[in-house]
Amino acid sequence: MKLLVNEIFYSIQGEGPNVGKPAIFLRLGGCNLKCKWCDSKFTWHPKYSENQNLLNIKIIQQIKKFPCNHLVITGGEPLLQQNGLKELLSELKNYYIEIETNGSIPLKIWELIEHINCSPKLKNSDNLPYPLQISPTDKKVIYKFVVKIKSDLTEIKSYCKKYKIPKSKIWLMPEGTSRNKILEKSKWLIEICKKEGYNFSPRLHIMLWGNKRST
């Protein structure tokens, strides 16, 4: 079976509870949303897309070149390709599998995943609202919210109340594609996290390398 792949690279996790951990990244192509501030338009936008169809055996060969057993599957939206992922992950024994998703598609491969970073998109993404398909009752899942302006917090609170997401599962992350923008927003966002009892997520890869691919 083949997967639509954008890139495979070795770096560190820059966001969420596993921030700073060395990881292999399998970035898949295609997305069902179109966030206006998306920092990976090259996975889905016709103007920038550089995706290729790769056989699972070729993907596995590339993954196993790296001295690491932590695999982050990102995109785009990886859950668009769950059939191919099921076959791929069944062949990757002894790997810690972490997946990123926007929460709009039900996850059918729970048993093959160790950790889920669910990042629901708010009004600031310019997407239409959609029902959350990833349940907060599962111990594997956390929720990352991209915060653009302080008033986004009102929407986040309402969203988390609606879906009964506990504060312990909530990570707030500054929107931005430059180091200066991330730094500026991080200062006031950290204070919000301290006040409200949320977790703060940096965007470490942006801080270190800017908005560059394969980092």
Closest CA to 115 of 72, 79, 76: 72
| pLDDT reported for residue 179 | 87
Q: Is residue 214 part of a domain?
A: no
Beta strands in the chain (DSSP E): 2-12, 22-28, 52-55, 70-74, 96-101, 115-118, 141-147, 170-174, 199-200
Element (H, E) at 58: helix 56-63
Q: Is residue 35 part of a domain?
A: yes
Q: Is residue 148 part of a domain?
A: yes
Tens of pLDDT along the chain (215 residues) come to 899 999 999 999 999 999 999 999 999 999 999 998 888 888 988 877 789 999 999 999 999 999 999 999 999 999 999 999 999 999 998 999 999 999 999 999 999 999 999 999 999 899 999 999 999 999 999 999 999 999 999 999 999 999 999 999 999 999 988 889 899 999 999 999 999 999 999 988 888 887 777 76
Q: Which residue has the tokens 């103007």?
A: 47
Can you spell out the DSSP letters for 140-153?
TEEEEEEESSTTHH
| pLDDT reported for residue 215 | 66
Q: Among positive and negative, which fits the CA dihedral 102, 61, 18, 211?
A: negative
Q: Is residue 215 part of a domain?
A: no
How many domains is the chain built from?
A: 1
135 is in which domain, residue-wise?
2-209
Element (H, E) at 182: helix 179-196
How far, rounded to the nearest angstrom, does the alpha carbon of residue 209 sit from its chain's CA centroid? 18
Q: Is residue 177 part of a domain?
A: yes
CATH number for the domain harbouring residue 164: 3.20.20.70
Q: Is residue 33 part of a domain?
A: yes
Tokens of 187: 């200062």
Q: Is residue 116 part of a domain?
A: yes
Q: Is residue 157 part of a domain?
A: yes
